[in-house]
Structure 1
Amino acid sequence: MVAKHATRTPVKSRAVTPIAFVQALLLAYERYGADPYDVLRKAQITPAMLRRSDSRISAEQMEQVSEAAMRELDDEALGWWQRRLPWGSYGLLARASLTAPDLRVALKRWCRHHRLVCDDVALALEADRQQATITLAEHRPPWPGTRELCLVTTLRNIHGYASWLVDSRIPLRSVQFPFARPAHADAYPWMFGCEPVFDAPVAAFTFDAQYLALPVKRDERAARLMLQRALPLTVRLYRRDRLLVQRVRELLAREPAAMVNADALAAALNVSVRTLHRQLQGEGASLQALKDEARRAHALDLLARTQRPIKQIAQAVGFDSEKSFARAFRGWVGQSPSEWRRAGPSGRG
């Protein structure tokens, strides 16, 4: 049974969440023999919306209907697995990682403890010096019709918790799922911040391994406040990235000529240009200063290691002309590029 009517009011965020997720959530009500009428009415989800496969709801609506269903059914897994995860199960998991010294240890604990409350799936963290990967292996199939919602929510849950734990958005390099591309695949970049891969061997996401070294910044008091309204960590991307300055530096070092403008950098970092500038400012930096720093380092390296003409070096580090490069270079080191090169190592200070 679904809601008979609902009075709709404007919502705060863009409606991008597929109605298919709500339809999958309603299967939990069928499984437990409960009536979802009140939950749908309060979330302003109408029968007409449920009938249209292309309907979308806002993050607030998904948050509201998910939390209400979890409480009413006393199952934070929304009927996916063999046994319920009673309300508060993920709160216990969250608290178990609070005393970890850094994100690496916290995520390993989360994955290990998750198997204590649910053995239908297994989460695992693998990492090398460059990349970290969270994989989700399925030991038993979820309840029929809920697999997509189950895998998406489980990955978003651990990603959101990890970001909250270190108080930093953790941009994903990739995300993949072991099912066919759904009709609403255009919603996935909004949910994960990157383009997904479908028909993959296993559900997983990857991110820069440097985030694993970030210290855990939350305590019991912070956890109590978060758990009063934890669903936003699952349905919305965390905003602030505490390693953004470092990531910009690395991009500029790798591709100094290609990353000469904010549009290119923002696209590579999966953020908007406005967000890029705002977050850099919040970290006490500016894009122009970081670009100048990268250009200076690259120019010095090319002048010291090669005999390339000054004009070519100017182009390689992103200047339109040799004249503008020489002017900027003199501002950096007090000498022209030719003077600095002639001085050699002993005369550069």
Structure 2
Amino acid sequence: MSSPSFLSPARAATPMAFVRAIVRGYERYGVDSAGALRAAQIAPRDVAKPGARVTAVQFETLNAHAMQELDDEALGWFTRKLPWGSYGMLCRASLSSPDLGLAIKRWCRHHRLLTDDIALDLQVMGGVATLSITEQRPLDKAFREFCLVSSLRFLHGYACWAIDSRISLRHATFPFAAPSHRDAYALMFAGDVRFDAARASYSFDERYLALPLQRDERALRTMLKRALPLTVLQYRRDRLLGQRVRELMRGPADSEAGSHATAPRAESNTADALASALNVSARTLHRQLKDEGTSLQSIKNEVRRDEAQRQLRRTTKPIKQIALAVGFRNEKSFARAFRDWTGMTPGAFRRPGDPANSRITPA
């Protein structure tokens, strides 16, 4: 299984530090890396340049060549080799799982059969799932960063492929100082990236764990032939995107002890603001929602309707105040929209037992 890359195939943005880690793997086994560098079209003189970068395709080619030539998919990271096909075995062992949560747990458990130098673990708390790595033996400094980054990326890439969805990360942490190529981490782990942490980890919405796996053995065989486009580049759609947009629009909820949820704020519900919060472009946001059969405006109307109904039922606020709170300029436009949504006026909705409501004709 090739190491999952994370960038546009034509963009030279993969840090040369990761190339040097692979070259050191060759040195550990006393094998010449010239052939692998030549296959990846990487000039040996460039390997030592601190700020140099390579493309995702070059990096994938180098990885695949090295893993097979050295017969070690860990590329020298651990105290014993992970023979060619080890990560494919992890994929197969998880593929029959009914959902992603069990697939990840199986991956973590079976990974310990391959090596006990590191241990992967999945924990869920407060609606957030966290995949973390415990270093059970000191990792060689020459390999440590690349090992931790790749171990997280292997599983993330497989998980995205398995459920046929992008898994948006909330944050990622690493137990070392920010490297000079820290900008690459924002591309590898979109979201909040933190250094000098206790361990390597990333966190994501717990609800991804309940999504069913979408792949079979035939699809796995195809994926393992070339992991880059199938584990990373095609997973732009996020199956939880619509839900996450709704939550952002609704805003944080206060405690249940008599307080009310925060009303939607129009200034934070623009496409640009929502896209920024979700770490995607506004264009991508619109496209993915369309793929789900919805739109930003439809979700905005849904959130406005729900909040308006909540306030009409549970508060004594004047209708004009509610109209402004849910993003309308005046009571008239709010009443027109509310009638389109529910078939009745806001006043009639607030007084369901009023005989006058029988005169309301659904729009």
TM-score (ref. length: structure 1)? 0.91
Q: CA deviation at 1:137?
A: 0.2
Q: CA deviation at 1:39?
A: 1.4
Q: Are 1:155 and 2:152 counterparts?
A: yes
- Aligned-partner Cα distance in 1 for 2:123–2:276: 27
Q: Are 1:59 and 2:56 counterparts?
A: yes
- Aligned-partner Cα distance in 2 for 1:176–1:156: 13
Residues 322 and 187 (structure 1), Cα distance of their counterparts in 2 relative to 1, 3 Å cut: farther
| More moved, 230-239 vs 296-305 | 230-239
Q: Deviations over 1:11-34 (max 9, x none)?
A: 843222111111111110110111
Corresponding residue number in structure 1 for 2:321: 312
Corresponding residue number in structure 2 for 1:289: 298
> Secondary structure of the equivalent of 1:245?
helix
> Secondary structure of the equivalent of 1:187?
helix
Gaps of 5+ in 2: 1-7, 253-263
- Aligned-partner Cα distance in 1 for 2:138–2:329: 58
Q: 1:300 aligns with which of 290, 295, 309?
A: 309
Q: Deviations over 1:147-178 (max 9, x none)?
A: 11110000011111111111111101110000
Corresponding residue number in structure 2 for 1:69: 66
Q: 1:219 aligns with which of 216, 219, 222?
A: 216
Q: CA deviation at 1:202?
A: 0.8
* Letter in structure 2 aligned against 1:122: A
Indicate conservation of the 8 Å contact 1:192/1:237, yes or no.
no
Q: Deviations over 1:210-254 (max 9, x none)?
A: 011111111111111111112456665832212222222222233
Q: Deviations over 1:76-114 (max 9, x none)?
A: 011111111011000001000111111111111000000
Quick one: percent identity of the two aligned structures?
Answer: 58
- Aligned-partner Cα distance in 2 for 1:77–1:232: 21
Corresponding residue number in structure 2 for 1:7: none
Residues 232 and 33 (structure 1), Cα distance of their counterparts in 2 relative to 1, 3 Å cut: farther
Q: CA deviation at 1:259?
A: 3.8
Q: Deviations over 1:92-141 (max 9, x none)?
A: 01000111111111111000000000110000111135111111000112
Q: 1:18 aligns with which of 4, 15, 26?
A: 15
Corresponding residue number in structure 1 for 2:84: 87
Residues 158 and 286 (structure 1), Cα distance of their counterparts in 2 relative to 1, 3 Å cut: same
Corresponding residue number in structure 2 for 1:114: 111
Q: 1:261 aligns with which of 251, 264, 270?
A: 270
- Aligned-partner Cα distance in 2 for 1:56–1:324: 55
Q: Are 1:330 and 2:336 counterparts?
A: no
> Secondary structure of the equivalent of 1:174?
strand
- Aligned-partner Cα distance in 1 for 2:323–2:52: 52
Gaps of 5+ in 1: 1-10
Q: Are 1:37 and 2:19 counterparts?
A: no
- Aligned-partner Cα distance in 2 for 1:252–1:125: 29
- Aligned-partner Cα distance in 1 for 2:229–2:19: 16
Corresponding residue number in structure 2 for 1:274: 283
Q: CA deviation at 1:143?
A: 2.7
- Aligned-partner Cα distance in 1 for 2:65–2:330: 62
* Letter in structure 2 aligned against 1:301: R
TM-score (ref. length: structure 2)? 0.87
| More moved, 110-119 vs 193-202 | 193-202
